[in-house]
Structure 1
C-alpha cells in the first residue's frame, strides 16, 4: 500500500522517536511473526516454506545430484523466481546474486564429497510467491531452514574409486539418510541476511512495507558462524514507491548496525533452529 504524504509524515515522526514507535508495535530488533514448515516436498532432499504476518510467502526446495567433481566448478547452484517480476529483471538478478554469493563463499563443500571422483551438487530452487517488503531476508531465512533439513542418502559403495569406474550406489532405505548439516566436523549453520532500516538515529530490523517508504537508508548485513561477515551493503528498500526521504548515512550508524546484528544474530539463528525442532512430525501439512 502506497502511503499518502500525511501518512508518511506521521509515520516518519513516529519512527524517529526514542524509542521508535512502529506501526505494528515491534521493538527495534524484532522480526515480524512468521509461520514455517520444513520437509514437506516429497521429491526434494530438503524443503521449507515461510509465511509472514503480512502475507509474504516463500518456498525453497533443495535437490542433490551426483556429479563428477572434476567437471564442476561450483557444487551449489541457486535459482530465484519472484512472482510479478521477470526472471531477467535487475530485481531478481540482484536477489539471486546475493543469495548465491553468500552461500557459495560460506558452504562446507567437503560434506558433499562422496568418493575421490564423485560429489553431490546441490540445486536450490527459490520461489517468492508474494512479498510486500524487500524479500532478501525472507529468501535467506527460508533457505536456512531448507538447507538445515536437507538429507543425503547413505553411500554403500567403496569411497576409493581412483582406479575403477564405479558409479556410487546408495542405501535404498531412506531412514539411513543423514542430515547434511551433521556431516561435517561441526554442525553447519547456513549464513543468513538481516535487513535493517535507517530512520533518524534509529535502526529497525526487518522493516515492513510501510516503514520502507519513509526510511532514510537501508542496510543488508550477513551473519554466519556466530559473527557478522561480508558482504554488508546499503540499499534503498522502497523499491515499489518514491521514497523522498532517502539520503546518505552517518558512519556511526554503520558501526551501531554491526553491533546490533552481533548482539541479536545468534538469537535469530536459535529461533530458526527451534522452528525446526518443533516441526519434526513431517506430516505434509504446510501450516
Structure 2
C-alpha cells in the first residue's frame, strides 16, 4: 500500500491557496485535510490535526510561516515545504537543512519533486522517530545571522558586565534574538520545547529561539514549577489553563488561551499529580 501524506496548505492569498489545492489534488500521494489563510489558523490546525506535511507560505501578515514553525511543539511537528514569492530568505540554508522551498509561481515539476522528497523524509522520520524542527530552526537562525544587524538590549532592567550572574539572580532567561537580547522572566515562560540543540521559549504570547538543550535550561528553572511533559517539552505548571484528556492515556494542556500541548503517556503522572 502506497504512502499517502495528510497535508495542510497555508497561504494568505485566496487565489494562491486555490491553485495549490488544485495542483495537489492531482498527486495521488497527497490528501489535503485542511486549508488555512493565515499563520494563526495554521498553528491551530497543526495542533488539532497533526498533519504529515504542510505547504506553508512564509510571508503572511501577523503570524509568518517561520513563526508557525516556532510555535509548533516538536512532538507534533510535520514536514514543511515553504512557499514564497521572494528569494531573500537564504534559499541555500533551507535546502541544506532538509526543508524544501518553492518559489511562486508554482511549477508542476518543482511541486512534484517537493512531494517526492517529502515522501522520502516521511519514511525516514517514521524510521528514526524524530522531526525536522531542529533543521528548520537551524535554517531560521542562519537567516537571522545573515542580516548582520547590530545587537541592542531589549529589557527594562539594565545589566552590567557580569550579565549572566545578574540574570540568574533576577531569575531571567537571556535570549539573543536577531537584533535584540531579551530578558525573559521565568514566571512569564508558559512552555518550552526543544529540537536538537535549540529550544523555543514561549512567553507573553511570543516565541524566542535559543541555542541550548532542554537539560541546560531545566538546570536554570525551578523544578517545582517547571515539569517535563514530553521528552522534548517542559511546561510552567502555573501557566496551565485547561487539561483535556486524550486517547491512550495522553493529555492536552491548553496554554495562553490557544496553544495545545501534548502530554505523552510516559509523563502523564506529572499532570495527574498536579491535578490532585
TM-score with structure 1 setting the length: 0.24
Higher strand proportion, which one? 2
Higher relative contact order (CA 8 A, sep 6+): 1
Higher helix proportion, which one? 2
TM-score with structure 2 setting the length: 0.25
